[in-house]
Amino acid sequence: SPKSQILITAILTSVQIVINIGWFWYDPPVVKHVFPTRDSRLRICSGLGDFSYLISLSYPFVLIGVCTVYAFLTRKCPDGFNEARHIGFTNYTAIVIWLAFVPLYIASTSYNIRVVT
C-alpha cells in the first residue's frame, strides 16, 4: 500500500539523517584556510583531512549493495518483476562509479583536486 511505502522510505531516510546528525555532532565541520602559494588561498572543510566522511558514505553503499543483490536474485522472475533488470543495471552503474570515485578521492593528496571534485 502507499502508506507502507512512505513509511519504509521515511525509515530508510531517517537512518541516514541520524547517522549524519551523529557525525556532525561528533566532528563538526570547520572551515580552514590553506595557502598553497602566496597568491592563492583555498577554503577547505576540516573533514577532508581524515576519513570521517566515509561514515556518511557507508550507509548508501550498503543500501546499493542490498538492492543490487535483490535485483540480481529477482531478474528472472515473471513479467511482474520486469523492472528488476533496470534496477540492477542502475545499481551496477552506481557501484562502478563509487568503486572508481571513492578510492581516487581518498588517494588524492592534493587539496586542489579534492576541492574541485
pLDDT one-digit tens code per residue, 15-66: 999 998 988 888 787 777 878 788 887 777 766 556 677 778 889 989 999 9
Q: How far apart are CA 99 and CA 69, in angstroms?
A: 17
Record the pTM.
0.69
Residue in the structure block whose three cell numbers are 593528496: 109
Residue 111's pLDDT is 58
Give which of 19, 34, 22, 21 is closest to 114, Cα–Cα.
34
Cβ 84 vs Cβ 74: under 8 Å: yes
Split at pLDDT 50, 70, 90, the class of 113 is low
- At 1, which amino acid appears? S
Residue 117's pLDDT is 45
Split at pLDDT 50, 70, 90, the class of 10 is very high
